[in-house]
Chains A and B, each alone.
Chain A
Amino acid sequence: MADMLEIDRLSFRYPEAPREAVSGFDLRIPQGEIVVLAGPSGCGKSTLLRTVNGLIPHMYSGDYAGDVRVGGASVKGSDMRDLSQKVGFLFQNPENQIFMFTVERDVAFGLENIGVPRDEMRERVDEALRLLGISDLAQRAPHELSDGQKQRVALAGVLAMKPSLVILDEPTSLLDPMTAGDLVALVAKLRKDLGTTFVVVEHRLDLLVKVADRLVVMSEGKKVLEGTPRDILFGDDAERYGVATPAVTQLQKMLARRGLATTGTLLTPGELAAELKGRNR
């Protein structure tokens, strides 16, 4: 079976831009993986994501070379109607992707646009609301919701389209640590229950490394690092590309320098605490 996402030698340059925003990018993501995309601002992450859900080249034009395929079908050759049902895109600011006056109508927005019959739409909306645990908010207006709730509403709208690939653009940047943790747990649950593939752009790696299968680091439009979170975060290059390594990996590196080496590859505070405790015995 083909991979869920295949990016081959992709390059894209915006009109009038001096250099390519993405250049010669390759990536393969099998179905059901959670991949974290990291890199400094302006490194081309946003552009790359927009080539996956078709905003590039269908909404923004420019010099496009190479190919992006989702579930085996070329993004360039599909229209937004098909793409909207394959690739879900959760944008950074939930406020700006909620259009309607009530939560349930907003969740139905995409389904209305592709002409899903009312009965089926009702089912899919209810299911999406249930999946995110917000059935009780169905009749609320957007301005009556907290940021975390808005985020869930926006995600419900994305999931109601039953996409096989979901892109999350800095999903925790507006959330407090507790809510951010809930969101990460939700991503893991959706992958497990529905087999959804996730591409997550994120700066706060400490929450995501627990569930991520792979970490891809971009710099100046190119892929510079790719591997398991463990390999990359404990490698020497991550900091060079401005990846904010979680405090727990920094602590282990510090301990190692002082000759108090642990196994040196632990990703969560829990694992580290358990190991340090075990040693004291």
Chain B
Amino acid sequence: MMWLSGGFVFRRGDSPYHRLDPRVKLLISALMFVSTLLVRSFYELLAVIAVMVAVAAVATVLKRVGRTMVLTATFSAFIFVINIVFTRNLESSVLYAVRFVAIVVSTSLFFITTSPDELEQVMKTFRLPRDVVFAFVTAVRFIPVMMLDTIQIMDAQKSRGLELEKGNIFRRVRNMIPVLIPLVVNSVVRSGELAEAMESRAYGAVPRPTSLVQYKSSVTDKVVALAALALFIAGAYSFYYILPVQLP
């Protein structure tokens, strides 16, 4: 699972891409995602991937994206093998396998360049209820805390003789119970304390709370968004009407 977290966890960066309005970044990733689904040939897919690499370069995350690609490729190998066995069609098998890599990269590009704060902003633009947004915020906020909790509980239980790495799969799952119970109890206690602190700081006091920060789309954001849309439309148009490339 580490490759997944590595490919999707935000790390602070200071590239022009990081500074874009999160909604624009979401748009770009969504367009890339849709493009990978629209392409009909391997060459078209390569063009889309080239765009992704260009975006990653601007965002100075080429290395991380590269690693994600390589790690995803091991999964793609499965997809390729299964496809080739059942369809005996080399072109479509390659297309499916590479498409999977492209899909992962398009989503990962959004998540590694968008801070949780910006994600919250995106959720607010979609007018999700405040409680839902806040639940998401606290959930993400407490991920590192819960991870630390888990490590501490595992260490504590190991020091009392719990053997997490021994036995068959059923045994191992059963051995996780002494870790899970304290973790759940901890979390329940924690959520009670959170509720008290929220209440003490007037959560839900007014129907329309204000916000300290305001994200405004700059001219750059708008230009980038329009350019991305234009590129997408031009690309889709040329794939379908001008260059109907078919592999032999």
Contacts and interface: CB of A to CB of B under 8 A. Distances in A.
Nearest to A109: B201
A111 B203 CA distance: 10
A25 to B, nearest CB: 21
B212 A113 contact: no
B35 to A, nearest CB: 31
Interface string A100-126: 111011001111111111100110010
B205 A99 contact: no
Contacts of B203: 109, 113
A81 B199 CA distance: 9
B205 A81 contact: yes
Contacts of B144: 143
B89 to A, nearest CB: 47
A116 B190 CA distance: 28
B132 interface: no
Interface string B42-75: 0000000000000000000000000000000000
B178 interface: no
A105 B134 CA distance: 13
Contact of B190 (A81, A96, A111): A96
A55 B144 CA distance: 28
Q: How large is the interface on B (under 10, 10 to 19, 20 to 34, 35 or more residues)?
A: 20 to 34
Contacts of B145: 95, 143
Contact of A99 (B138, B204, B210, B213): B138
B117 A102 contact: yes
A36 interface: no
B183 to A, nearest CB: 15
Interface residues of A, number: 43
A102 B196 CA distance: 21
A101 B137 contact: yes
Interface string A55-78: 100110000000000000000000
Nearest to A81: B205
A113 B206 CA distance: 6
Contact of A101 (B115, B202, B208, B212): B115
B197 interface: yes
A58 B212 contact: no
B209 A91 contact: no
Nearest to B209: A112
Contacts of B201: 84, 97, 109-110, 113, 157-158, 161
B159 interface: no
B227 interface: no
Interface string B137-150: 11011001100000
A118 B214 contact: yes
A9 B214 CA distance: 48
B117 A55 contact: no
Contacts of A114: 202, 205-206, 209
A143 B143 CA distance: 10
A108 B195 CA distance: 17
Contacts of B190: 96
Contacts of A100: 117, 137, 141
A157 B212 CA distance: 13
Contacts of B198: 99
B6 interface: no
B33 to A, nearest CB: 25
Contact of B204 (A113, A116, A117): A113
Contacts of B213: 105
Interface of B: 115-117, 120, 134, 137-138, 140-141, 144-145, 190, 193-206, 208-214
Interface of A: 50, 53, 55, 58-59, 79-81, 84-85, 88-89, 91, 93, 95-102, 104-105, 108-118, 121-122, 125, 142-143, 157-158, 161
Given A50-B196, A101-B117, A114-B202, 6 more contacts: A55-B199, A80-B199, A100-B141, A101-B120, A114-B206, A142-B141
Cβ-closest 10 pairs across A and B? A97-B197, A110-B201, A81-B205, A84-B202, A108-B212, A96-B193, A143-B144, A113-B202, A115-B206, A101-B116
